[in-house]
Structure formats: structure tokens, C-alpha cells
Amino acid sequence: MAAKPKLCYFRGRGRMESIRWLLAAAGVEFEEEFIETREQYEKLQKDGRLLFGQVPLVEMDGMVLTQTKAILSYLAAKYDLYGKDLKERVRVDMYADGTLDLMMMIALAAFKTPGEKEENLALVVKKAKTCYFPAFEKILKDHGEDFLVGNKFSWADVQLLEAILMVEELDASVLSDFPLLKAFKTRISSIPTIKKFLQPGSQRKLPPDSHYVKTVRKVLQL
């Protein structure tokens, strides 16, 4: 019987959060090892498990996986969340990539100086409202289906919900002009596996706080 996937990262969102979401959405239980010290990190590097010396790291199916997008692609394919053919797959990739870009901006803003951070986060909200959310609202409008691609739940839906919730943390009114995205948010949030992940006590992580930023800086010597 296969062991649970084991995730190795800091105790926070960063580049691992999308992976946690996807596993949770697929109903896959996973374990987590949290990096708290420089020594832990150096040990990981010496062990040779980090291909390019970086986390996230996910051990599953007898493999040691690194590189966020590689891990996400693998999970999407494994749990049938990647569309049914190449043409659907490229759409899932386009949408997932777009939302990942947006979420990365938020993740990186945590490490800027207070003034820059505010500026960057304001830019994220602006981009969400003027560029990304209109694009997804249009996609949903054009086909009138419940999910972004192929009338079936996919990785793209998981990522979009994750992105919507993240941007709402910055600006609660951000969906006010996007009725279909509002409905989408409600719909995807009620999928049993996602509903469970959204409950307190799940492995979902909180927005980055000063303790998280301090830990990451210390471990990565930034």
C-alpha cells in the first residue's frame, strides 16, 4: 500500500500552498515536515534530495520531486485533473499558469519593505480586477459551464479558487463585478474535499506573517 505523500517546506504558504490545495482537492492525505532551522535545510541539501538545492520537496510514489510546477503537473495528471486530451490540457495549463503568476506576486510581496509591499499588493489587486478575473469571467460566460475546462473539475478550478480567496484577503470586494466568478467560488468551495480543506484545523496555511518571513530569511540566508 502506498505511503502518504510527504511534503517538506516552511510552515506557511509560499510555493507549497498550491500543492497542498491540489492534494486536498484530490482527497489525498499527506504528511508535512516543516523546515525551521538552517541546519535542517543544509542537511536536506547534503542528502542530495534537492535537485537544485531548493524546496518545495514532495516525496511520493517512490520519487523525490522538486520544482513547484513539475509537482503540480504530476499531481494533476495522476488524479485526472488535467483535462481529457492535449487541447484541454493546454487550457488547464494556461489558466493554472496565469493564476500561479498572480499568487506568486502575493507570496513574494511578503518579503519586500513595508512601502514596497503595500505597492505590490495594490498592484496585485489591480491586475486581478483588470486582467485576470475578467479573463476567467469571460471563459465561464462563453461556455456557460460549471468548470473552467471540459465541463469537468480540473486543476485550473482549484487554482482559481485558491487565487480568488487569496486576493479577497487583500480586498474583500474584489469579486463585486464578477457574478460568474462569485457563483464559481461558491460552487467549488462546496465540493466535499475542498469544503473540508477550507475548515479550520485543515493543513491549509495562513497568510505570511513576520514570523514566517523571518524564518524563511534565516533558513535561506536571504
**Residues in the site for another protein, rule: CB under 8 A?**
51-53, 63, 65-70, 73-74, 77-78, 86-87, 89-90, 93-94, 97-98, 101, 131-132, 135
Task: For helices 210-220 and 38-47, give the axis angle rounded to 10 degrees.
Answer: 50
CB of 28 to another protein, least distance (A): 16
* Residue 90 or 122 having the CB closest to another protein: 90
* Residue 3 or 131 having the CB closest to another protein: 131
Q: How far apart are CA 58 and CA 67, in angstroms?
A: 9
CB of 195 to another protein, least distance (A): 29
* Residue 137 or 194 having the CB closest to another protein: 137
CB of 90 to another protein, least distance (A): 4
Q: How far apart are CA 128 and CA 93, in angstroms?
A: 18
- Nearest partner of 136 among 82, 94, 195, 104, judged by Cα: 94
CB of 67 to another protein, least distance (A): 4
- Nearest partner of 18 among 7, 31, 34, judged by Cα: 7
Cell numbers linked to 210: 513576520
For residue 164, the tally of other CB atoms under 10 A from its CB is 25
* Residue 172 or 222 having the CB closest to another protein: 222
24: Cβ contacts below 8 Å, ≥ 6 apart: 193, 194, 196, 197, 202, 203, 204
* Residue 52 or 222 having the CB closest to another protein: 52
* Residue 58 or 216 having the CB closest to another protein: 58
Sign of CA dihedral 165, 166, 169, 170: negative
CB of 47 to another protein, least distance (A): 14
CB of 106 to another protein, least distance (A): 16
Q: How far apart are CA 83 and CA 154, in angstroms?
A: 7
CB 174 within 8 A of CB 129: yes
